[in-house]
Amino acid sequence: MLVFILNAGSSSLKYQLMNPVTAETLAAGICERIGIDGVLKHEFGDDRELKMDVDMPTHKEAIESVLRTLTSGEGKVINSTDEIDAIGHRAVHGGEKFSASVLVTDEVINEMKDLIPLAPLHNPANIMGMEICRELMPGKPNVAVFDTAFHQTMPDYAYMYALPYDQYSKHKIRKYGFHGTSHFFVSNEARKMLDKKHNTRIVVCHLGNGSSVSAVQNGECIDTSMGLTPVQGLMMGTRAGDIGAGALQYMMRQENLTIDEALNILNKKSGIQGISGKPSDLREVLDGMQNGDDRCRLAVDMVAYNIKKYVGSYVAALDGIDALCFTGGIGENAALIREKVCAGLDAMGLVIDPVKNNKRSKEARDIATNGSSSRIFVIPTNEEFVIANDTFKIVSEMK
């Protein structure tokens, strides 16, 4: 089976063509600057890459360009779209309605539209991708895989906010969590590496420009750091993470800001970028720290400290820990962040091996000392495989 995997953003579109049975990726790429000037980057074969300027006034032209690139010209990997068996879509917010991946129907799309207030930037683009694929490839099954679904196993005392209860009953204001496909994949890989599927207590740190932590017990999420929106939780590339409502109100009064202007600061001008004064790429901040920039040092220390606090609280929530996992661009590549997070966690049974930690590898690995009673894993995430695999399962059940 070949699954076309689509992740539609407001002005970009990521894609992969994958066989979920063999986990082989035939091609992958991204369309950027949709509605502006349009750039398509296409990777295929043995590390071959194309970069093309393509007119993409809307997402429809972007998807048409991708399908044309997959089936013709230098980047061709299949003869026609007839070889595509199904389309799997990343869907950001499923609210309480969707606790698992689903076949896309008119009813599902309408229900996702009802959830747009919970994800006004993401859900419209996700829906658009689904509608365009149904138009361009009629008859092909489409499957929606929700970022929030994995976290729907959280108990009510973990996902509720201590607001008046009618704010939940009327508006469904609660913690939902995100990066669910990554937390699901990494926690399952950790269970395999532990060779243990029962009585497992795993903390997953998905660290990138967007970051989140989850507590996973016996394969089910019991808590996660992101909330109603992705801005809650850890300090991230440009997001502030946890911040007191009083501080937000004070900033708004001092700067004469509207709520939208304040949220723009919290989402796009804060975090690593806001503290360091550098771009949100942690590599530049780490370089700045090495060169004596104290604001860069502060940003790095804050990032590690925030993660460490969540790890400690989730170890308590799990009544112990079997494995701490690092994934995502920062989690997989920033040895210093892993070192700082794990420093002083010996009492929890988490003892990092500095030699193993500093050894670079693209493979999943254990970086704990041999004497550590709990394991510390670095596990490359594969959210696309989760989307492809869920799509394969749902389509197979249709036959």
| Backbone angles phi and psi of 314, in degrees to 5 | -80, -30
pLDDT the model gives residue 7: 94
Residues identified as active-site: 147
**What single DSSP character describes residue 53?**
E
pLDDT at 46: 87
**Inter-residue contact 327 to 213 (CB < 8 Å):** no
Ramachandran angles phi, psi of 182, nearest 5°: -70, -45
Query: For residue 201, what pLDDT is reported?
Result: 98
Q: What pLDDT is attached to residue 130?
A: 96
Rounded to 5 degrees, what are φ and ψ at 225? -85, -35
- Specify the pLDDT at position 312: 97
Predicted pLDDT at 166: 98
Closest by CA to 321, choosing from 312, 308, 329, is 312
The DSSP result for 265-319, as a single string, is: HHHHS-HHHHHHSS-S-HHHHHHHHHTT-HHHHHHHHHHHHHHHHHHHHHHHHTT
Cβ–Cβ < 8 Å for 5, 15: yes
| pLDDT of 39 | 93
Tell me the mean pLDDT per 10 residues along the chain, length 399. Answer: 93 94 94 91 93 92 95 95 96 95 97 92 92 96 97 98 97 96 97 90 96 97 96 96 97 97 95 95 95 98 98 98 97 98 96 97 96 97 96 91
Which pLDDT score is estimated for 9? 87
Which pairing describes strands 375-378 and 365-366: parallel, antiparallel, or unpaired?
A: antiparallel
| pLDDT attached to residue 122 | 86
332 near 378, Cβ under 8 Å?
yes
